[in-house]
Amino acid sequence: MATGFPGRELGFGLHGPLPEAGSGRLLKRPISEMERLLLQQQQQQLQHALFLRSVKQRRLLGSSVSSHLSAPAPQDHILGSLASLASSNLMDSRFLGRPEMSSMETRPSAALRDGLQELERRLLLDDDEEEESVSASASAVTTEEWSEAMRQIVAAPVSLPAVQGPNHLSPSPTDSSSSTVSSSASSSPPSSFAVPAGAALRQMLLDTAAAIADGKLETATGNLSVLKRAANYRGDAEQRLTAVMVTVLFARLNPAPPAGSSPPLAEISGAEHFAASQMLYEVSPCFKLGLTAANLAILEATKDRPKIHILDFEIGHGGQYVALLHALADRHRLRPAVRTPALRITAVADPASPITNNETGGTIRAVGDRIEKLAQRHCLHVRFDVVHLRAAELDAASLGCEPDETLAVNLAFALARVPDESVSPANPRDELLRRVRALRPRVVTLVEQEINTNTAAFAGRFAAACAHYGAFLESLAATASLDSGDRARVEAGLVRRAVNAVAREGGDRLERCEVFGKWRARMGMAGFESAQLGPAAVDAVKTRLDAIRPNPGFTVEEAPGRLGFGWKGRVLTVTSTWR
């Protein structure tokens, strides 16, 4: 019969049968047998006491955890609560160690040692299961408390620990205890405390992202309270970058939008962000030159062709085609004997994309009207169409391609927003490339940012974004006034891009850029071959750069199959051509 105590099942207590009583005689036992039985009884009592202590400690742990999780703690006590939980777990793990025997106890037998080990194993397994249950039930509450704390940090500065330098708040595996960190984090900093700058500030950003990725909330809290003081949207490039990346960190800690706010995808699909993106392409030489190179590749591949059909998967405000029409008009003036080609532009909009909605569709049609009117003023024959098709629906018939047309496909800042295999098993990104390849275009132009925000984990994406957007903000300072309203709108759009690309996950992450090496692999798997941009086109791009850049920090990097545009040696955008 089970007693609830595992001693009998594990072999504790009396093992052999009792001596039989003789008929009509008293039961006689030698002194050695009595001592052995007495010792076994003492050992059984010790194990029973051990079991009772285990039950008592586990009940205390359960009540301690439940008291901590009963209601969200205010900001000043969050770290203390986390420290108490850590202390309780530490106490429990120490208790689960093997108890020391007193000097009066004799060495246990082999069977007793085996029994102790089995009991220890069962207790450890039980506590592992219990800790997993506590962890699962506590995660939602901890997240809720953390979200509230972050909102309070945004609203008002958090007091800082007394530190000797900026690296004190970086993640460290040798923190003395949770309670020590908690108490120091609630103290006020000395008046001589200096906010880090330069490389130290950039490193603190990276350390904070790593702490969030590792679940080290205390470290992240301390770092963010310092980083907030260094962030300034109106400061220099480093302060502006800090402001952008701190926003990303807060968005990562608060994945669910507050009540009444827009869902994550709405951040980058609204009219305001759409306008900011188009302004970015005009203000930044790196983006503008990428589009210029794509235009030159199309003009070079379709030279002297009477009918040209361009498929565009991200028409935007049509600024790229305004420049293309001007180039065609200039060519006609230089060669009046050559008849201008009949140009047809088809804007392809994916109805499954969150970017494509009724408002955007109307915008695309309005863009087409402006392009057609501009063409008329330059005596050019241009027709503009809009089709709404998913990647799997693309073919020559649905796109209205004609046999006598020279087809060009423009993928400027378009593919990075098409989901790939990490988002959808259907892999629309590669499906789109295969469908385009089946159309047999004469040239395909691909323009994208040179950054991996697709397959990298959060900390990796954050580090890449720090380097990429840091260089971009420096370049922007060389082309726009610090008080420029245009720059403010462009940087607001940049913040939305960074938040979506770095802080979001799954279907909420629409900005999924890749570096050129990955694009080259995708294009190759789809059946494309690299087509080098001609020397005349490359020279034209460099001449254009010399005309628009007021600062020698802008660079053009020539490499096989691509042109890279960047700032002080760091490539920010890449244009490549394919056939």
pLDDT of residue 268: 84
pLDDT of residue 85: 34
pLDDT of residue 481: 59
pLDDT at 300 over 70: yes
pLDDT of residue 155: 38
Please give the share of the chain, as a percent, with pLDDT higher than 70: 63
Radius of gyration of the chain (CA): 35
pLDDT of residue 260: 57
pLDDT tens digit string along 534-576?
899 999 999 998 887 667 899 999 998 899 999 999 999 999 9
pLDDT at 487 over 90: no
527 part of a folded domain = yes
Between CA 175 and CA 465 the distance in angstroms is 29
What's the token pair of residue 427? 């892999």
pLDDT at 159 over 80: no
Question: How many domains would you assign to the chain?
Answer: 2
Between CA 171 and CA 398 the distance in angstroms is 56
43 part of a folded domain = no
User: Which of helix, strand or coil describes residue 310?
Assistant: strand
pLDDT of residue 577: 97
**pLDDT grade for 356, boundaries at 50, 70 and 90:** low
134 part of a folded domain = yes
Show the domain range for 472: 267-578
- Pair (483, 334) in one structural domain: yes
Between CA 33 and CA 248 the distance in angstroms is 75
Lowest pLDDT segment from 22-31, 85-94, 345-354, 492-501: 85-94
pLDDT tens digit string along 366-377?
999 999 999 999
Between residues 520 and 146, which one has the greater pLDDT? 520
pLDDT of residue 437: 98
**pLDDT grade for 51, boundaries at 50, 70 and 90:** low
Amino acid type, 322:
V
Amino acid type, 199:
A
CATH number of the domain that 385 lies in?
3.40.50.150
The alpha carbon torsion through 501, 503, 505, 507 (nearest 10 deg) reads -60
Closest CA to 509 of 333, 239, 265, 197: 265
Sign of the torsion angle spanned by Cα atoms 287, 290, 295, 298:
negative
What's the token pair of residue 267? 């951040």
User: Which of helix, strand or coil describes residue 533?
Assistant: coil
203 part of a folded domain = no
Whether residue 450 contacts residue 515, with contact meaning beta carbons closer than 8 Å, is answered with: yes
Q: How far from each other are the two terminal CA atoms of the chain, in whole angstroms?
A: 81
394 part of a folded domain = yes
372 part of a folded domain = yes
Closest CA to 415 of 382, 444, 393, 443: 444
pLDDT tens digit string along 189-247?
333 446 777 788 999 999 999 999 999 999 998 999 999 999 998 899 999 999 999 99
pLDDT of residue 258: 61
164 part of a folded domain = no
pLDDT of residue 35: 57
Whether residue 95 contacts residue 54, with contact meaning beta carbons closer than 8 Å, is answered with: yes
Bridging pattern class, strands 381-388 and 342-349:
parallel
